Amino acid sequence: MSGAASGPGLPPPWTAPALVAVCADGRDLSDRVHARFGRAGFFQLVDPETMAVTLISNDENRAVAQGAGTGAVELLAERGVTALIATRVGPKAAEALRYAAIPVYAAADVTVGEAVAAFCRGGLARVDEV
Amino acid sequence: MTPVTVAVASGKGGTGKTLVATNLAAHVARTGLRVTLADCDVEAPNAHLFFDVRAAVAPVEMPVPEIVGACPARCTACRDACRFGAIRILGGRPVVLPDLCHGCGACTQVCPSGALHERQVAVGSVGVGRAPDGMRLVTGQLHVGQSKAPAVIRATREHALSEVSDVVLLDAAPGAACTAVAAVHGTDFLLLVTEPTPFGLHDLTAMVDLAGELRLRAGVVLNRVGTGEVDIGAYCRTAGVPLLASLPFDRDVAACYADGRLLIDGHPAGDRWFADLWSTLCDHLATSSAGVPA
C-alpha cells in the first residue's frame, strides 16, 4: 500500500497503523456507505492492509435528540480511528473531528469495500465539511 | 400579589398572535389595570412596532464552560455529567462544544479538579419600557446566530414579572416546540389564535394537545373569518375548548396592521372586538384559580 497515489496537494491518506471508519448501511464490505454520519446504523472499522472489518453499532448515538454526530466522533476516537469515510458530516461533527484529528474523506453511492479501495488508491477527496 | 398571566400562542405562523396580544394588552391597560406585555417571540419580536416605547436594554447571558486547568488523567466526569453531548473526550482530553451547551452548569459541579471555568456568553437581550398609555412592554431578542432561545424567553418572563402588574400577557413564538413551551408553560390561560384554513385547524389541534400536556386552560380566537371554509367552531366543540372571539377577514384590519397601528385606535370596530374578548376572557378566568384581575 505504500505507493498509494495521493492526488496533488492532498495529504497522505493515513499514517500507520491505519484504521478507517466507514459509515455503513450494514455489516459487510458489500453494504453501502450510509448517507449520514451521526445517525448511521453502523461504523465498519476497516484495516486497509488486510481489509478485516470490525463492526461497531452506533445505536447509542443515532437515537439521541441532539449531539449524535459529536457522540459518533467520540466513539470513533475511543477506538483509535485514524480516518473517516462519509458521504457528509455536519458542522458540529466536523469541529469534533478536527479536535480528534480524524481526517474525513468523501464517498457516496458506493459500497464500503469500494470506498476503502478508492481511499487506498488516494482516490477520495479529503473534506472538512461535505 | 401575583398577576394573572395570559399567553397568546398559535401553532401556525401568521395567524394574528401579535395582533391579538398587542391590542388586548393596550385595551386592558386603558381600562386602568397595570399591564405588562412580554414579547417572547425572541427570534422575531415585533410587538414593539405598535408602541412608542424607549426601552432600557439588558443583556441575557448564559454560562458556557471552558477548560482552563489541568484535568486528572482519564477523567471523564464532565463528559458523563453533560446531558447534551456538549463535552466529548477527543484526542484523549475533554473538549467543550459550546453550540451544544445549554448552560446547566452540571459539568462544573462535578469537576473534581477545578479545571472547568464558566464563562458568560451573551445570547440575547431584554428591553423594558413603557408606552404612553402606561402599558409596560418587555421585549426579548435572541442574538443572530444563537440557538438558545429558551434562555432568552426565561429572562424575558423574569423581567416581565420583576415589577408589579395586574395582568401579564405573553406573546409566544409560533409552533408547538420548545420556544412556544418556554413562553406558555405555567400561565393561567392560553389564548390560541387560528384561522379557518386546513393549516390553521391542523396546527390548532397540535396546540390544544400541547395545552393538555402542559395542563393549561385554553381558549380559541378565530381570526380572518371568511378566508377559508374550515369549521373551527365545530372542532372547538368536539375538543371541548371554548371559542372566545372571531375577527373578520377585513381589508381595513390588514391596512391598519400594516401601518403599525393598533386596531383599537385605527379600526372602527377594533375597540369593541377587544373589549368583548377581554370580557369573555375574564368570565373564563373567573372560574379558574387565577381569578379576575381587579
CATH number at residue B266: 3.40.50.300
**Mean model confidence pLDDT for chain A:** 85
- Same domain? B78 vs B167: no
Model confidence pLDDT, tens digit, residues B86-110: 999 998 889 999 888 988 899 999 9
**For chain A, what is the radius of gyration of the CA atoms?**
13
Q: Which pLDDT score, from 0 to 100, does residue A12 have?
A: 52
What is the average per-residue pLDDT within A115-128?
A: 91
Q: Give the mutation candidate from B66, B80, B88 for the A interface (greatest A CB count, under 10 A).
A: B88
d(CA B157, CA B167): 13
- Predicted pLDDT at B39: 98
> How close, in Å, is residue A30 to chain B by CA atoms?
30
B42 in the same domain as B84: no
Which has the higher per-residue pLDDT, B21 or A26? B21
Query: What pLDDT is recorded for position A8?
Result: 46
Confirm or reject contact between B88 and chain A (CB < 8 A).
yes
Query: Which chain A residues touch B86 with a CB distance below 8 Å?
Result: 67
B292 in a structural domain: no
β-pairing, B35-39 with B167-171? Answer: parallel
Which cell is B28 given? 386592558
Q: Which of A118-127, B230-239, B285-294 has the lowest mean pLDDT?
A: B285-294
Cβ of B88 within 8 Å of Cβ of A66? The answer is no
Average confidence (pLDDT) over A24-42: 91
| Residues B187 and B243 placed together within one structural domain of the fold | yes
Q: What is the pLDDT of residues B158-196, one digit of tens each?
A: 999 999 999 999 999 999 999 999 999 999 999 999 999
Q: Is residue B293 part of a domain?
A: no
pLDDT score of A130: 44
Q: Span B116-134, mean pLDDT?
A: 95
What percentage of chain B reaches a pLDDT higher than 90? 89
> A105 to chain B nearest CA, in Å?
19
Do both B44 and B131 map to the same domain? yes
Q: Do B208 and B102 share a structural domain? A: no
Q: Rounded to whole angstroms, how far apart are CA atoms B168 and B290?
A: 12
Rounded mean pLDDT of A21-27?
92
Is B104 domain-assigned? Answer: yes
Torsional sign, CA B178, B180, B183, B184: negative
Domain shared by B183 and B104, yes or no: no
Which amino acid type is present at position B59?
Answer: P
Number of domains observed in the structure of chain B: 2
Q: B120 in a domain, yes or no?
A: no
Q: Alpha-carbon Rg of chain B, whole angstroms?
A: 22
Residues B177, B77, single domain; the answer is: no
All residues of chain A having their beta carbon less than 8 Å from the beta carbon of residue B79 are 74
Q: Give the per-residue SS3 of B128-175.
A: EEECCCCCEEEEEEECCCCCCHHHHHHHHHHHHCCCCCCEEEEECCCC
With CA atoms as reference, report the closest residue to A72 among A110, A33, A105, A102.
A102
Is residue B82 located within the same domain as residue B179?
A: no
Chain B residues with CB under 8 Å of A95 CB are 97
Task: Give the integer Cα–Cα distance in Å for B174 and A86.
Answer: 36
Cα B174 to Cα B181: distance, rounded to the nearest angstrom: 10
In a domain, B240, yes or no: yes
- Residues of the domain holding B105: 69-114
Instruction: Indicate whether B92 and B160 sit together in one domain.
Output: no
Just give the CATH number of A20-127.
Answer: 3.30.420.130
Q: Please, are residues A53 and A118 in contact by the beta-carbon 8 Å criterion?
A: no
- Residue B292's pLDDT band (cuts 50, 70, 90): confident
Is 90 exceeded by the pLDDT of residue B147? no
Could you say which of A77, A96, A101 has the minimum Cβ distance to residue B97? A96
Q: Does some domain include residue B263?
A: yes
Region B283-288 average pLDDT:
88
Please work out, in degrees rounded to the nearest 5, the angle formed at the alpha carbon of residue B261 by the alpha carbons of B255 and B263. 75
Taking CA atoms, what residue in A is nearest to B100?
A67
Query: Which phi and psi angles does B200 have, rounded to 5°?
Result: -60, -45
Q: What angle do CA B100, B104, B108 make, to 5 degrees?
A: 100
Q: Is B30 part of any domain?
A: yes
The least confident of A6-10, A112-116, A119-123 is: A6-10
Secondary structure class of B258 (helix, strand, coil): helix
pLDDT, one tens digit per residue, over A82-105 is: 999 999 998 889 999 999 999 999
Q: How is chain A split into domains, by residue range?
A: 20-127
CATH number for B110: 3.30.70.20
